[in-house]
Amino acid sequence: MREVDDEKNLRKRKTVSIALKAAVWFCGILTVGILVYILSFILIRGIPKINMEFLFGEYNSETLSAFSSVVATVEMIVISLLIAVPVGVFCAIYLSEYAKRGNKAVKVIRLAVDTLAGIPSIVYGLFGMIVFVYAFGFKASILSGICTISIMILPVIISSSEEAIKAVPDMYREGSLALGATRLRTVFKVVLPSAMPGILSGIILAIGRIVGESAALIFTSGTNVLKDPTLNLLASQRTLAIHMYMLANEGLPHSRDMAFATGSILILIVFLVNFAATKIAGMFGRLNNE
């Protein structure tokens, strides 16, 4: 009697397990499938339209060149990271290494960080327009865009750095302090290098956010497009994402196609950044595990 029960049970368990396996596979394939579909949809339409004129030419209604937008995007990535990474990492160091537990300031900072992370980007855009464009008098410019976007990526960098710093085992800190090192030296020579891969992954997320941002930048750096790339941060110049948005709405015969071409460049940039960041994280990983 028992054996019969066992056998029934076993069969039932096998059926459930097969069904679950199928469900897992289905979801996996679905996700990858959607990604492949989106990527090929954009790349197939976009890549054939990319030509030298579009990549490096002067912008006019013929070429619809993305050159000045690419340069503006790069400027925005580099400078806003230069602003937000030090501020964010130092804030994370304060939160995780210096602040005492139950400290009121920590609660306030955490609340602020979480709130900043949840604000829709268009609200940042409005804020940036009122503060940087008008009150600070930066006008609609790359600089206004940089200031706005630096604030936007701050929460990402703070929370990922804080997680990474907290994950560094206490025994490293103890080892350093027990040799007579100060807290500061311990943080910079032992804790931060160990936390670097985690901090880098936060920076990658931040770059993704900068590259993809449109709403906040339309209000601050504007939709203007220059004939040639500029290094003047006070100029108003659109980024790639906005270039794409504008082209898609332009109504010129070939502007739709060129929007896809811009999208392809965006995707390639994101790939490149992720690739480079994995390489860099890998370098730190090797240093840590060799």
Partner 1 sequence: MSDKDKIKIENINLYYGDFHALKNINMKIKTNEITAFIGPSGCGKSSLLKSLNRMNDLIEGVKITGRVLLDNIDVYKEMDPTVLRKRVGMVFQKPNPFPMSIYDNVAYGPRTHGIKSKAKLDEIVEQSLNSAAMWNEVKDRLKKNALGLSGGQQQRLCIARAFSVNPEVILLDEPTSALDPISTMKIEDLLTEIKKNYTIIIVTHNMQQATRISDKTGFFLQGEVVEFDKTEKLFSMPKNKKTEDYITGRFG
Nearer to partner 1 among residue 3 and residue 290 (C-beta): 290
Residue 176 as a binder of partner 1 (CB under 8 A): the answer is yes
Work out whether 40 is an interface residue with partner 1 (CB under 8 A). Answer: no
CB nearer to partner 1: give 22 or 167: 167
- The set of residues, in sequence order, having a beta carbon less than 8 Å from that of 172 and lying 6+ positions away, is 190, 191, 194
Q: Does 101 bind partner 1 (CB under 8 A)?
A: yes
Residue with tokens 């029960």: 5
Query: Which of 4, 52, 178, 231 forms a contact with partner 1 (CB under 8 A)?
Result: 178
Do the beta carbons of residue 76 and residue 209 sit within 8 Å? no
Would you put residue 140 in left (φ > 0), alpha (ψ -120 to 50) or beta?
A: beta
Q: How far is the CB of 60 from partner 1 (least distance, A)?
A: 54
Contact status, residue 249 vs residue 59, Cβ threshold 8 Å: no
Binding flag, residue 52, partner 1 (CB under 8 A): no
Q: What whole-number distance in Å separates Cα of residue 230 and Cα of residue 85?
A: 24
Tell which positions 149-168 bind partner 1, by CB under 8 A: none
The answer to the question of residue 100 lying near partner 1 (CB under 8 A) is: yes
Q: Write down the least CB distance from residue 32 to partner 1, Å.
A: 35
User: Of residues 190, 248, 268, 280, which one binds partner 1 by CB under 8 A?
Assistant: 190
Examine residue 104 and tell whether it contacts partner 1 (CB under 8 A).
no
Q: Which is nearer to partner 1, 242 or 281 (CB)?
A: 281
Using the rule CB under 8 A, is 289 a contact of partner 1? yes
Task: Check residue 181 for interaction with partner 1 (CB under 8 A).
Answer: yes
Pick 127 or 172: Cβ nearer partner 1: 172
What backbone torsions phi and psi does residue 146 show, to the nearest 5 degrees?
-60, -45
Do 157 and 202 contact (CB within 8 A), yes or no?
yes
For 191, residues 6+ apart whose C-beta sits below 8 A from its C-beta are 97, 165, 168, 172, 173
φ, ψ at 63 (rounded to 5°): -80, -35
Question: Which stretch in 145-153, 170-178, 207-215, 250-258 sits in contact with partner 1 by CB under 8 A?
Answer: 170-178
- Binding of partner 1 by 287 (CB under 8 A): yes
44 half-sphere exposure, CB direction, 13 A CA radius:
6
Minimum Å gap between C-beta 173 and partner 1 is 8
What are 286's two structure tokens? Answer: 């090797």
**One of 110, 139, 185, 209 touching partner 1 (CB under 8 A):** 185
Tell me which residues in 193-212 interact with partner 1 (CB under 8 A).
193-194
Q: Counting contacts by CB under 8 A, is residue 174 touching partner 1?
A: yes
- The 10 Å CB-count burial string (b at 16+, else e) for 51-78 is eeebeebebeeebbbbbbbbbbbebbbe
Minimum gap (Å) between residue 84 Cβ and partner 1: 27
Of 74, 131, 172, 215, the one binding partner 1 by CB under 8 A: 172
Q: Which positions touch partner 1 (CB under 8 A)?
A: 100-101, 169, 171-172, 174-182, 185, 189-190, 193-194, 287-290
